[in-house]
A and B are shown apart, each in its own frame.
Chain A
Amino acid sequence: DAKTTQPTSMDCAEGRAANLPCNHSTISGNEYVYWYRQIHSQGPQYIIHGLKNNETNEMASLIITEDRKSSTLILPHATLRDTAVYYCIVRVEETSGSRLTFGEGTQLTVNP
């Protein structure tokens, strides 16, 4: 699986957009980009994933660059409850097993 690089921490003001970057310069053509988050002391929660097109759901948007070497998770209107560690994971979507490798992620702190 491709290795990912994320900033250790970021801050964001409540109500503003939070843009979390992820670098995955060694990504292969069949690898997907996944984002999970972990609110303190809870189990991780799936947010969104994509292959090469931008994706949006009720939680967030995922922007993947044309060369697929990096991506950005966007929380359009961050709230205090979005304070969490955000993990960017690159993984082949396959049916023979779907182990995810969690790095150390980005600690996002949303400030009032």
Chain B
Amino acid sequence: NAGVTQTPKFRILKIGQSMTLQCTQDMNHNYMYWYRQDPGMGLKLIYYSVGAGITDKGEVPNGYNVSRSTTEDFPLRLELAAPSQTSVYFCASNPLWSNEQYFGPGTRLTVT
């Protein structure tokens, strides 16, 4: 299994641009999550999904959107990038019966 994969690894955006961060898992996990991590800080939950077609807001959802059309994919959309969204973004997943989350390698995003 490849586990949780994220693309791209790095991206620089200009203010107001939009982009989609991709996340895919091949472990057939029901739950998927998006976190952001600012320098020197812990992870904050942006959105999560308990299965295909179901998404819900986390702690810091403003400025982001998600969709979950398949079990495998959970893309995160930034519509109007702002400097405050400069961060490292991690995607994670876990199976129905466990809180053991598997994390992707992260996407480092800079908005200037």
Contact = CB atoms under 8 A, between A and B. Distances in A.
Interface of A: 32, 34, 36, 41-46, 49, 87, 91, 93, 95-105
Contacts of B98: 93, 98
Contact of B99 (A98, A103, A104): A98
Contact of A95 (B40, B42, B88, B97): B97
A43 B103 contact: yes
Interface size class of B (residues with CB under 8 A): 20 to 34
Nearest to B94: A98
B103 A44 contact: yes
Interface of B: 4, 31, 33, 35, 40-45, 48, 50, 56, 58, 88, 90, 92, 94, 96-106
A91 B100 CA distance: 11
A49 B94 CA distance: 15
A36 to B, nearest CB: 8
Nearest to B102: A46
Contacts of A49: 99-100
B106 A104 contact: no
27 contacts: A32-B99, A34-B99, A36-B101, A43-B90, A43-B104, A43-B106, A44-B43, A44-B92, A44-B103, A45-B103, A46-B100, A49-B99, A49-B100, A93-B98, A93-B99, A97-B31, A97-B48, A98-B31, A98-B98, A98-B99, A99-B58, A101-B45, A102-B42, A102-B43, A102-B44, A104-B40, A104-B41
A36 B48 CA distance: 19
A43 B99 contact: no
Nearest to B95: A98
B99 A91 contact: yes
B11 to A, nearest CB: 16
> Which 6 A-B residue pairings sit nearest by Cβ, starting from the closest?
A43-B103, A102-B42, A102-B43, A98-B99, A46-B100, A104-B42
Given A32-B99, A43-B90, A96-B50, 18 more contacts: A34-B99, A41-B88, A41-B106, A43-B104, A49-B99, A91-B99, A93-B99, A98-B31, A98-B94, A98-B101, A99-B45, A99-B48, A100-B45, A100-B99, A102-B35, A104-B40, A104-B42, A105-B42
